[in-house]
């Protein structure tokens, strides 16, 4: 039992020595763009980026940014 107490006490000291400064939680928002993320965007011929043979006909492409 004494050994367990000593071990516990040592752990507390270690925990206190590495204790980090408290930082208040805060929310950070990250922008998502559903039309890009869903691979559903249909780009027109005026959009940036080259078109593959099928895309040039369908006016639909994943290409370019």
Q: How many residues bind other proteins (CB under 8 A)?
A: 30
Instruction: Work out how close the CB of 51 gets to other proteins at its nearest, in angstroms, rounded to a whole number.
Output: 10
Instruction: Work out how close the CB of 22 gets to other proteins at its nearest, in angstroms, rounded to a whole number.
Output: 16
7-26 positions binding other proteins, by CB under 8 A: none
DSSP 2-33: HHHHHHHHHHHHHHHHTPPPP-----------
Residue 37 found at the interface with other proteins (CB under 8 A): yes
Q: CA geometry: angle at 45 spanning 42 and 31, to 5°?
A: 45
Closest CA to 54 of 37, 42, 65, 36: 42
Residues that bind other proteins (CB under 8 A): 28, 30-42, 48-50, 52-55, 57-65
């Amino acid at each position: 039992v004494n050994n367990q107490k000593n071990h516990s006490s040592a752990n507390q000291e270690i925990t206190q020595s590495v204790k980090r400064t408290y930082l208040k939680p805060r929310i950070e928002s990250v922008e998502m763009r559903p039309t890009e993320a869903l691979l559903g965007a249909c780009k027109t011929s005026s959009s940036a980026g080259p078109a593959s043979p099928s895309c040039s006909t369908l006016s639909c492409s994943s290409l370019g940014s």
